[in-house]
Structure 1
């Protein structure tokens, strides 16, 4: 992408190409840091001019029927339409493009940049006292902190995706257990054939989110019955179970965030 190359500089671009060609992970990491930092520290006029040039070139190629996938053309044009002149549009050349199918999950460790492009997902975060932005936002971007804190270790997108594990005790329960102790996500998919379901007690408190279906819930801690539908959120105390009386013909889909102790 010549427009990006003009912003990061020829020397930095060649360093990244050479490190990639020699399969040197540490060299690639160092080169990525230099390239990304130079991009983010570009003068606004410089990156806006190069971005406009890139958008015009991709638009012409697309209009002529050329394949622009090598430049992530469709994604670039969509992002630029949503955030015109935003330096984050160049991030498509530093990040993996991942499409998650229903039921799939991915884990992003601290200091790993990411962006949600479209669709809905259930997200859990560890306790954090900061959010550092890189682009695609009208909010403040702390460039110095961003460039210093990021993890530049290259990795394929497949290394970030991990499958759900079905519970051997309950076929309706699927566990997403990331490699950190901070949180776990549980998918509860109750088939239409089940009309009464018990949400088991856990050693920790949890948050229950309803994505599909309706039910009436009761528990020993609740003073009265609770009606659940899409969008309902419940706080479930530690060691508290929940009894669901399903009222929908297509079952229920719930997600439960907790900390397995």
Structure 2
């Protein structure tokens, strides 16, 4: 009997300290609603991530057989598609992307992800830390109000913080600060000199003497708590106090004066390519990335910090936060689907919002996809014989390459997020 090209898969749950506890987490909500086998909510447990994919750390399973998804796809290569398999050198049924739900209560680490060449070197040199040789460009699509630090601030804003925030300025040697300030109004903010000046400031902060930066952070927090805030600092005051409360005495707090503070509403998205520093602060998101778990960390974390590699691999491309926003677009003549298409080949994401009782047909997509119901219930159907599956909140399905599908809403709004790849 020929295998069905659309089938349910069972995602996996990751519990990290920064996750939202109990049913306040979208991860726990989806797992509970979908009746995830063996899952029982504990209100004090931080449910941080729901993984949907084939990554070897925590692969999804075919729900009907409990077989690892990658193993199943290796036996059914047509579900990945010849063109995608060739372009991305797919072996063992391993998908080019990893799809996640994140529920963030505490700030994630100050981090970046390596490019492909760097990932291969890091994996070869430190396979116990960097466990795969792949890069990890990623996109975050907000399900709830979401905040994050994303990419370096424009140079004039950093220079302004150096002039009005003495605790921050104290971590940067005078010569470095003066050179940076002199270049901060340059007409070529991403020129070689400007990038080097920004790198020098960032490196000085991240490698500052521990006793010195802790003393300065105490002064900063005490000043803000006393309400002594310069006008230029008002937008980050509460963030500084929040992050310091979560990670007392951590150098990562000073990154507030170096990185863009982004606040997204549901349906808005940001993309972070290789070498872009970032830290997610709060909210629930859909996250999609190349199939990797490589993270270079430097602050706001109890995990290993690799400051030398972080400093040496960043792009130092200072820009407003709009640089990182993904502009959605219509999807191939559909009425209820929005495409989020970042500038990398490994993945794109669709947000499908079908009104009660209506249908949404997706034309065949050249490669494989994974979809999760994030609100409501309905049905997905495919094929000439009208094969179908009932879908409820939290249900995850795999859709094979070149399969036309139709989503039908029940008696309420039906929302599906679908990640896919094409050659």
Aligned twin of 2:181 = 17
Q: Report how far residue 225 of structure 1 moved.
A: 5.3
Q: TM-score, with normalisation over the residues of structure 1?
A: 0.89
Give the Cα separation in 2 of the matches to 1:134 and 1:41.
10
Question: SS at the partner of 1:211?
Answer: strand
| Aligned-pair CA distance for 1:201 | 2.7
Say whether residues 1:253 and 2:415 are aligned partners: yes
8 Å contact from structure 2 (residues 336, 360) kept in 1 = no
Question: Which residue of 270, 274, 277 corresponds with 1:110?
Answer: 274
Root-mean-square deviation (CA), in Å? 2.3
SS at match of 1:61: coil
Q: Within 5 A, what are the aligned runs for 1:1-261?
A: 1-25=165-189, 26=191, 27-61=193-227, 67=231, 69-70=233-234, 72-128=236-292, 130-194=294-358, 196-219=359-382, 226-249=389-412, 251-261=413-423
Decide which moves more: 29-38 or 199-208. Answer: 199-208
Deviates more, 1:165-174 or 1:105-114: 165-174
User: How far apart in 2 are the matches of 1:239 and 1:71?
Assistant: 48
Secondary structure at 1:140 match in 2: coil
Would you tell me which structure has more strand in proportion to its own residues? 2
The superposition leaves residues 99-156 of structure 1 with CA deviations (integer Å, 9 ceiling, x where unpaired) of 1222222221111011111112211112336210121111111011111011111111
Q: Matched residue of 2:411: which SS?
A: coil
User: What stretches of structure 2 of length at least 5 have no aligned partner?
Assistant: 1-164
TM-score (structure 2 length as normaliser):
0.56
* Structure 1 contact 68–74 (Cα < 8 Å) conserved: no
- Distance in 2 (CA, whole Å) between partners of 1:191 and 1:247 is 9
Higher relative contact order (CA 8 A, sep 6+): 2
**Residues 153-197 of structure 1: CA distance to partner in whole angstroms, max 9, x if unpaired?**
111111221311113521111111111112111111111241x44
Q: Deviations over 1:48-102 (max 9, x none)?
A: 111111111111126xx97573472111001111111111111111111111222
Query: How far apart, CA to CA, are the structure 1 residues paired with 2:171 and 2:288?
Result: 35
1:28 Cα offset (Å): 2.8
Query: 1:144–1:34: structure 2 CA closer, same or farther, 3 Å change rule?
Result: same
